[in-house]
Amino acid sequence: MSSVRDTFYGIARELGMTRIFSNPGSTEVPLLVDMPDDFEFVLALHEGSVVGLATGWAIGRGEPALVLLHTTAGLGNAVGALATARVNRAPLVVLVGQQDRRHLHQEPFLTGRLSGLAGQYPVWVGEPAHAADVPSLVQRAYHEAQIHRGPALVIVPMNDWSVPMPSGRFTSPTRMRSTVATNQTDRLEVAELLTAARSPVIVVGAGADHADTWSALTKIAKKSGAPVWQEAFGARAGFPQDHPSFAGHLPASRSGVREALAGHDLVLVVGAPSLRQYQYEEGELYSARTRVVVVTDDYDEAAHSVANLAVVAPLPQFCKGLAAVLLESGRSAPQTQRPMPLPASESGNLEPADVFRELAQRLPAESTIVEESPSSRSLLQDLLPARAPLGYLSAAMGGLGFALPASTGLKMALPRRPVVAIVGDGSSQYSIQALWSAHRYDVGVLFVVLSNGGYRIMDVLAAKAGGPGPWPGFADVSIRDLGAAYGCKTHSVATLDELTEVLDELAQILPTMTEPVLLDVVLGGRPDARAAAHRRGHE
């Protein structure tokens, strides 16, 4: 008779989840020892990186990734990354190991209080009442993760794996499909609103990052003559950002939104909420005369939007249909001015703009930039526009520690795609051990770390709040040495000539790279000089 464990591996195989992202402990040993040959095990050295790798893998493949975590310590370490996966809408099936159920009530060593530990971030949590429920809960978790697009957890006591699997115990569907109906009436209503508007504008977001949606939106923009903005803090690009109709990234302040959208009587938001804010500001989001329509495939996003009409529908189909029924407005598409790259600074020291300008000149259009560069984010978005679907990816909720593992997982899923992670030096520290996984599994990501020796964005915010913050800088941390310690090929550049020389070399090999390269970009001068200046500041 086969065991729960055998049945689990059979189901995982059937569902296409044969790669296990994990950092295991003793409670996972019964599952992992003698793992079947057709399964691959991917180790990351911290659970934030485990989940980050799986998130990138799930986004790259568009299918659930399988994660295995070790009871409270493992799940606890992973919570921030699970929250990011949820807001990034990445489907994950997360198995969490638990102590042996035969003595759980006595709280043996490693017992986890697990079901509530990740709070509201899992889309679903399953706890098997019987060992034999485990396989069907895994199936269910797969469907929950896929349909609700986030992490679904199954908590598995370690002795469950060896229990014989009785026949006829399956309860979950093997395959499940869910489509929200998109009907002609909705499309016609939105088309009529667009046609009747005097001056429509489109705002796109992460949900619109799909080849069919991009192509339909370019037709809608052309027919309607509407400029297209990208939502603020969007995790992915919803429109080709080198297209003449692309107007730029919306500000995240109410006054900024009002100003950007002033004069438009209809705002069509596609694949985003209406509209994401950052710091609180008084006042309306829109003028009272503006009508707002939100089209999204995420019910929650629709439900918390400020809008006159919200339509929940699969976006590629909806937009394709809308493009087909929309009448030509006769308005010509707006000609928006693309931001001009800044010339190199006169000091000879490198600035983020130099890096983005030089990368833009060398990267193929189908590259993916995984961005985590807090103080230079908007500059990056201006100078490195997303030119292909999945051209831009960032953590949807601002949690640092996403870019290094997610870019690694993404490149594992899409090995022929050039993948460049652009990361602040502070940000790099939250998941620095992901570099080891990239090295160990031959993943050819280019990691560009912008080393300014501190939390520049925090310093800027503190200055705005009226004074310096108490946090010190860390110019004494050598990113290059850390990269080398984790086995990466490394370069350190501090001048424009050094930067261009290395980028010329890397640009040739980037699409076919099978090992990670870390480029430590020392901003504002060499670290020794900077560290000395920093020490002087504290004397």
Ligand X SMILES: Cc1ncc(C[n+]2csc(CCOP(=O)(O)OP(=O)(O)O)c2C)c(N)n1
Q: Footprint of Mg ion on this chain (CB under 5 A)?
A: 424-426, 452
Q: Retrieve residue 431's tokens.
A: 């998941």
Kindly state whether residue 245 participates in binding ligand X, applying the rule CB under 6 A: no
The answer to the question of residue 447 lying near ligand X (CB under 6 A) is no
Stretch that binds ligand X, among 8-16, 69-77, 131-139, 399-407 (CB under 6 A): 399-407
Pick the binder of ligand X from 430, 436, 441, 486 (CB under 6 A).
Answer: 430
Stretch touching ligand X by CB under 6 A, among 108-116, 142-150, 253-261, 393-401: 393-401
- Say how far apart CA 122 and CA 52 lie, in whole Å: 15
Q: Which of the stretches 94-102, 183-191, 367-375, 495-503 binds ligand X when contact is defined by CB under 6 A? A: 367-375
Closer to ligand X at the Cβ: 388 or 457?
457
- Site for ligand X (CB under 6 A): which residue of 98, 373, 431, 492? 373
Closer to ligand X by Cβ: residue 97 or 426: 426
374 binds ligand X (CB under 6 A): yes
Phi, psi of 152, deg, nearest 5: -115, 130
417 binds ligand X (CB under 6 A): no
Nearer of residues 7 and 452 to Mg ion, judged by Cβ: 452
Three-class secondary structure assignment of 384-441: CCCCCCCCEEECCCCCCCCHHHHHHHHHHHCCCCCEEEEEEHHHHHHHCCHHHHHHHC
User: 229 contacts which partner out of ligand X, Mg ion, none, CB within 5 to 8 A by kind?
Assistant: none
Contact 93, 152 (CB under 8 A): yes
Q: With the C-alpha atoms ordered 448, 451, 457, 460, is the resulting torsion angle positive or negative?
A: negative
Q: How far apart are CA 403 and CA 435, in angstroms?
A: 11
Q: Binding partner of residue 271 among ligand X, Mg ion, none, CB under 5 to 8 Å per kind?
A: none
Cα–Cα dist 142/464, whole Å: 46
Separation CA 468–CA 477 (nearest Å): 21
Q: Would you say 160 or 425 has its CB closer to ligand X?
A: 425
Shorter beta-carbon distance to Mg ion: residue 231 or 425: 425
Beta bridge partners of 419: 368
Measured from the CB atom, the residue of 49 and 213 that comes closer to ligand X is: 49
- For residue 20, what are the β-bridge partners? 41, 66
424 is an interface residue for ligand X by CB under 6 A: yes
Which C-beta is closer to Mg ion: that of 354 or that of 425? 425
Q: Using the rule CB under 6 A, give the single segment among 83-91, 342-350, 414-422, 450-458 that binds ligand X.
A: 450-458
275 prior amide bond cis, ω within 30: yes
> Binding ligand X by CB under 6 A: which of 203, 400, 422, 518?
400
CA 394 to each of CA 56, 236, 341, 370, 471: distance values in angstroms, whole numbers, following the listed order: 10, 7, 22, 6, 25
CA 73-76-44 angle, 5° bins: 70
Taking CB under 6 A as the criterion, the residue among 457, 462, 484, 509 binding ligand X is: 457
Rg, C-alpha atoms of the chain = 25
- List the single partner that 400 binds among ligand X, Mg ion, none, CB under 5 to 8 Å by kind: ligand X
| Least gap, CB of 20 to ligand X (angstroms) | 25
CB of 84 to ligand X, least distance (A): 9
Q: How far apart are the first and last CA of the chain?
A: 72
Nearer to Mg ion, 159 or 373 (CB): 373
Give the nearer residue to ligand X in terms of CB position, either 271 or 453. Answer: 453
By CB under 6 A, name the one of 25, 398, 415, 487 that touches ligand X.
Answer: 398
Q: Give the Cβ contact number of residue 539 at 10 Å.
A: 4
Shortest distance, position 83 Cβ to ligand X, whole Å: 10
Q: How many angstroms separate the CA atoms of 490 and 432, rounded?
A: 14
Give the x/- contact pattern for ligand X in 59-98, rule: CB under 6 A.
---------------------x------------------
Residue 357 or 387 having the CB closest to ligand X = 357
Phi, psi of 54 (to 5 degrees): -65, -35
Closest alpha carbon to 203 in 245, 263, 158, 155: 245
Is residue 474 exposed (0-12), middle (13-18) or buried (19+ Cβ within 10 Å)? middle
Judged by CB under 6 A, which of 24, 151, 248, 426 binds ligand X?
426
Cβ atoms of 55 and 405 closer than 8 Å: yes
Q: Which residues bind ligand X (CB under 6 A)?
A: 80, 373-376, 398-401, 424-427, 430, 452, 454-458
